[in-house]
Amino acid sequence: MGYRIIHDKLSADDYIKLFSSAGWGEPDRRLVEKSLKNSYVTFSVTDEDKVIAMARLIGDGGMAFFLKDLIVAPEYQGKGVGRELMCHIEDYIRGELEEGWECRFQLISAKDKEEFYRKCGYTAHPHEHSGPGFTKLIRKEK
């Protein structure tokens, strides 16, 4: 891959642009800034000076890591960028663990992206060690 992967430099602007390119709307800037600040680590994939993909990792640094917001710009999809980013994230997690430790690396796939994760070696829920994934939207009303 001729791209660079950078840690903890993902800007709110790049996040919002990629998030919107996925068809997920445009989140509030302050919400994005807080989320980026509180992520375990962020990953930006660049082509020259342009951010073309991103991901956030949240977790406790030991037993559990959760992938959030893996997005590859539409014009770069199908070129191996997402797979390379996933391999990089897995290596990063291994580097965080002490010898003999294992953790659960979990994610919730975007609709119609499940096959990508299967090709990366992930098992869909439910499986023998865990139950199905669930999501609940929690909102604080104005």
- In which region does residue 4 sit, left (phi positive, over 0), alpha (psi from -120 to 50) or beta (all else)? beta
Domain assignment of residue 37, yes or no: yes
User: Which tens digit of pLDDT belongs to each residue from 46-74?
Assistant: 999 999 999 999 999 999 999 999 999 99
N-terminal to C-terminal alpha carbon distance within the chain:
45
Cβ–Cβ contacts within 10 Å for residue 111, how many?
6
Name the strands in the sheet holding 50-59, side by side, starting at the edge strand that comes first in the sequence.
4-7, 41-47, 50-59, 64-72, 104-106
**Domain of residue 86, residue span:** 4-119
Task: Look at the chain and report how many structural domains it folds into.
Answer: 1
Domain with residue 12: its CATH number is 3.40.630.30
Q: Which residue has the higher pLDDT, 139 or 47?
A: 47
Domain assignment present for 12: yes
Residue range 97-109, pLDDT digits in tens: 988 888 889 898 8
